[in-house]
């Protein structure tokens, strides 16, 4: 998942995929800069905070997809239930790393662990939930518009959203 996926504009699944790609790229940037020592600790903190915010927003938007698909076929509900433990692992890892300062010795290790959890979750989304959502009867264009509006509201809420644990 290190290249921009080709997709249709105005499609909720493609929007989520694009968002996932962006988050993974930010993790790669974080790891590269940490390894090379290109930035100060405050810069790592800012990048980590951006990643945390985008992950929480992504969780909210994916929840919208799940709620919209509640009446969909059993195979979607099965896929969603199989992905849920991976999403929960991401949220647990996110809580642990958010509790640390970028100056803490374990911050880099916890960020790497979080990145691994995120990659597993996103891969499962792609292989299971997104594939089933595409075959279902959801109006992905309408859902995309709703998700874009929700995303704007969440990002406007900023830190109060991320720290309040709105997910």
Q: How many other C-beta atoms can be found within 10 angstroms of the C-beta atom of residue 143?
A: 23
Q: What is the CATH number of the domain that holds 75?
A: 1.20.1420
Q: What is the per-residue pLDDT for 4?
A: 35
Give domain status of residue 108, yes or no. Answer: yes
The tally of domains found in the chain comes to 1
Range of the domain at 44: 12-163
Give domain status of residue 5, yes or no. Answer: no
> Among the listed ranges 57-61, 87-91, 109-113, 136-140, which one has the minimum average pLDDT value?
136-140
Closest CA to 85 of 121, 130, 115, 48: 121
> Among the listed ranges 73-77, 124-128, 148-152, which one has the minimum average pLDDT value?
73-77
User: What would the mean pLDDT of 79-95 be, rounded to a whole number?
Assistant: 92
> Which residues, 6+ apart, have CB-to-CB distance to 75 below 8 Å?
132
Q: What is the per-residue pLDDT for 2?
A: 37
The enclosing H or E element of 75 equals: helix 74-98
Q: What is the per-residue pLDDT for 27?
A: 95
Mean pLDDT, the chain, as a whole number? 81
Structure tokens at 122: 């996103």
Q: What is the per-residue pLDDT for 158?
A: 64
Q: What is the per-residue pLDDT for 100?
A: 92
Q: Are 24 and 118 in contact (CB under 8 A)?
A: yes
Give domain status of residue 3, yes or no. Answer: no
Dump pLDDT digits (tens) for 102-112: 888 899 899 99
Give percent of the chain above pLDDT 70. 83
Q: What is the per-residue pLDDT for 1?
A: 37
Confidence of residue 8 (pLDDT cuts 50, 70, 90): very low
Give domain status of residue 139, yes or no. Answer: yes
Give domain status of residue 150, yes or no. Answer: yes
Closest CA to 97 of 84, 116, 83, 82: 116
Confidence of residue 90 (pLDDT cuts 50, 70, 90): very high
User: What would the mean pLDDT of 30-50 be, rounded to a whole number?
Assistant: 81
How many Å apart are CA 130 and CA 80, to the nearest integer? 9
Q: What is the per-residue pLDDT for 71?
A: 63
- The string of DSSP letters for 113-148 reads HHHHHHHHHHHHIIIIIHHHHHHS---HHHHHHHHH
Give domain status of residue 143, yes or no. Answer: yes
Give domain status of residue 56, yes or no. Answer: yes
Maximum average pLDDT range among 12-16, 94-98, 142-146: 94-98
Give domain status of residue 6, yes or no. Answer: no
């Amino acid at each position: 998942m290190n290249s921009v996926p080709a997709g249709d504009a105005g499609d909720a699944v493609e929007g989520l995929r694009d968002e996932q790609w962006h988050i993974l790229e930010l993790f790669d940037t974080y790891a590269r800069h940490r390894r090379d020592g290109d930035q100060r600790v405050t810069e790592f903190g800012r990048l980590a905070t951006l990643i945390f915010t985008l992950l929480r927003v992504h969780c909210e938007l994916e929840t919208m997809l799940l709620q919209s698909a509640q009446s969909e076929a059993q195979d979607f509900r099965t896929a969603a239930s199989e992905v849920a433990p991976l999403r929960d692992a991401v949220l647990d890892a996110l809580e642990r790393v958010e509790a640390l300062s970028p100056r803490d010795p374990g911050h880099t290790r916890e960020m790497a662990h979080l990145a691994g959890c995120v990659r597993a979750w996103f891969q499962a989304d792609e292989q299971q939930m997104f594939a089933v959502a595409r075959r279902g009867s959801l109006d992905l264009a309408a859902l995309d518009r709703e998700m874009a509006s929700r995303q704007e509201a969440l990002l406007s809420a900023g830190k109060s959203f991320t720290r309040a644990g709105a997910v």
